[in-house]
Amino acid sequence: MTMTAPRVLHAAQNDPAPAPRRIPAPVSRWWRDASGVALWALLVGVTALWVAHGGIQDLGSLGDGLTSLGRLTGLIASALLLVQVLLMARIPWFEQAWGQDELARTHRLIGFTSFNLMVGHIVLIVLGYAASSSLGLWGTIWDLVVNYPGMLLSVAGTAALVMVVVTSVKKARARLRYESWHLIHLYGYLGAGLALPHQLWTGRDFTASTVATWFWWTLYAVATVSVLVFRFGLPLVRSWRAPLRVTDVRHDAADITTVTVAGPGAARLAAHGGQFFQWRFLDGPGWTRAHPYSLSAAPDGTTLRFTAAHVGDGTNRLATLRPGTRVLVEGPYGRLHQGVRTRRKVLLMASGIGITPMRALLEDLQQTPGDVTVLHRVRDIESAVLSDELAALAAARGARYLVIDGPRIPDRETWLPVSAAHLTDADALRHLVPDVHQHDVYVCGGPGWMDAAHSALTTAGVPAENIHLERFTY
């Protein structure tokens, strides 16, 4: 088997080995199992309340039956909507147990399920009321919207949720700037809030018993408090306790910027190489929008550093930052750190700008010579971001740093360049890292490339629990 040899870069200088740092303890898998059980228990509880309040008995006639089914779909949709809010509230235990990548995918699945059930709720309720009324279909719709308490607010909330869902469809999302999508997505909170009054004022399953009232009020309260505490309160407290300011802005390329921030409380953030923060820079208009950037250097207790490609208005602004600019942060987030490592040998696998958290991991990982291999996939050698730093770190730590350069293979979902088209994805991995099945593997890059890399790793025999992913998607 032959393959175009990947270029191995070497640097003349060696960085000193870092001082030993505390290894972050991953949250027990028990949190994952418990949260899954809690979700099913919630749905069972919602259904039980519907049954207890006559849901099955109401199925005896057409009008009441449609209305009863509409109540059930509405109840489950409401519960799933609140679960969505909890998933993205960045509750530390869930975030560390699941990771943002898996949480985001679960959030998306539950979101579309909740939306479809909400549409079913609206249709069934309208048809059920119309079947039992002499007003006809359109008269019933007008009567429901105008005369029932909280329904106008509910219509506004539904419109907000429709806007969020439509812009979350992949084709629509691809046409939106991150800043626009993020702003629109915040309307999901507004939609959930506006839907609350009509449920609590007119919803039979919300008001029929003290148990039901307490159940739903508690669920809404937990979701609201979680957002206020973990999405707003905790980041503000951390930023206040650890005031950070920009200390250096480095232009690595025309479209790549590295920013270093420092402050006396940086160590209290307890960040680790491979993790990311949501960053806000108080430099003028647009500061309210946070952007996720992974650390590109292991935290040293006084500074944090990230490297980002310019892909939109937010990232383009990085090149214009001035030293002294105040910084607000949320995080650290992500499970792409050494705390999830279970094996001595580690493969760090990245494409393009996805190498930035791998550079921080290479610096942060406890290792002996030969333990760590870095595979950096780029379109050409000139676009190998941070290659000099990676080569220097690899030389100092006794790691291997391999740059796999070249254009993509056309008409093939692969992590390889065209020069390796004669190889399967898994065979190429085995060629570069013969004992890859004995490694923990960290993967970061574009979504299509990551899917191909993940498939190659599983084919090459790497267990799923030893593949750690972080996707740069929203």
Per residue in 366-378, pLDDT (tens digit) is 999 999 999 999 9
Residue 143 is given by DSSP the state H
Which of 3-12, 413-422, 459-468 has the weakest average pLDDT? 3-12
- Residues 49-83: tens digit of each pLDDT: 899 888 898 888 888 899 899 889 988 988 998 88
Could you tell me the two tokens for 410? Answer: 């056309």
Question: Has residue 229 got a pLDDT over 70?
Answer: yes
Helices 387-397 and 355-364, axial angle in degrees (round to 10) = 20
In the chain, domain spans: 53-231, 242-333, 338-471
Q: What is the pLDDT of residue 343?
A: 93
**The domain over range 338-471 is classified in CATH as 3.40.50.80:** yes
Question: Has residue 19 got a pLDDT over 60?
Answer: no
Q: What is the pLDDT of residue 13?
A: 36
Name every residue whose Cβ is closer than 8 Å to that of residue 72 and which is 6 or more positions away in sequence: 47, 50, 55
pTM recorded for the entire structure? 0.79
3-class DSSP assignment, residue 194: helix
Maximum mean pLDDT: which of 21-25, 222-226, 331-335: 222-226
Question: Has residue 17 got a pLDDT over 60?
Answer: no
Q: What is the pLDDT of residue 285?
A: 77
301-333 burial, b for 16+ CB within 10 Å, e for fewer? eeebbbbbbbeeebbebbbebeeebbbbbbbbb
Q: What is the pLDDT of residue 12?
A: 33
Q: Taking the mean position of all CA atoms in its chain, how far away is CA 369? A: 33
User: DSSP per residue over 113-124, as a string?
Assistant: HHHHHHHHHHHH
Question: Has residue 9 got a pLDDT over 60?
Answer: no
Could you identify the residue written with the tokens 């740059």? Answer: 403
Per the DSSP assignment, residues forming a β-bridge with 348 are 374, 442
Question: Has residue 115 got a pLDDT over 80?
Answer: yes
3-class DSSP assignment, residue 309: strand
Question: Has residue 104 got a pLDDT over 90?
Answer: no
Question: Has residue 5 got a pLDDT over 70?
Answer: no
- Residues 171-205: tens digit of each pLDDT: 766 666 666 666 667 667 777 777 777 776 666 67
Q: What is the pLDDT of residue 314?
A: 67
Question: Has residue 469 got a pLDDT over 50?
Answer: yes
Average the pLDDT over 199-227 and give the result: 81
- Residues 380-405: tens digit of each pLDDT: 888 889 999 999 999 999 999 999 99
Q: What is the dihedral of CA 185, 186, 188, 193, to 10 degrees?
A: -170
Percent of the chain with pLDDT over 70: 86
195/439: higher pLDDT: 439
Could you identify the residue written with the tokens 């267990």? Answer: 463
Per the DSSP assignment, residues forming a β-bridge with 442 are 348, 468
Q: What is the pLDDT of residue 175?
A: 67
Which of 18-32, 111-125, 253-267, 306-320 has the weakest average pLDDT? 18-32
The answer to whether residues 279 and 260 touch, using CB atoms and an 8 Å cutoff, is no
284/126: higher pLDDT: 126
Q: Which CATH number describes the domain made up of 242-333?
A: 2.40.30.10
Question: Has residue 362 got a pLDDT over 80?
Answer: yes
- Residues 147-166: tens digit of each pLDDT: 887 777 788 878 878 877 77
* Average pLDDT score over the chain: 83
Q: What is the pLDDT of residue 369?
A: 93
Q: What is the dihedral of CA 297, 300, 302, 306, to 10 degrees?
A: 10
Q: Taking the mean position of all CA atoms in its chain, how far away is CA 160? A: 22
Name every residue whose Cβ is closer than 8 Å to that of residue 33 and which is 6 or more positions away in sequence: none
Question: Has residue 138 got a pLDDT over 90?
Answer: no
Q: Residue 30 to residues 27, 140, 325, 366: CA-CA distances in angstroms?
A: 8, 49, 41, 26
3-class DSSP assignment, residue 470: strand
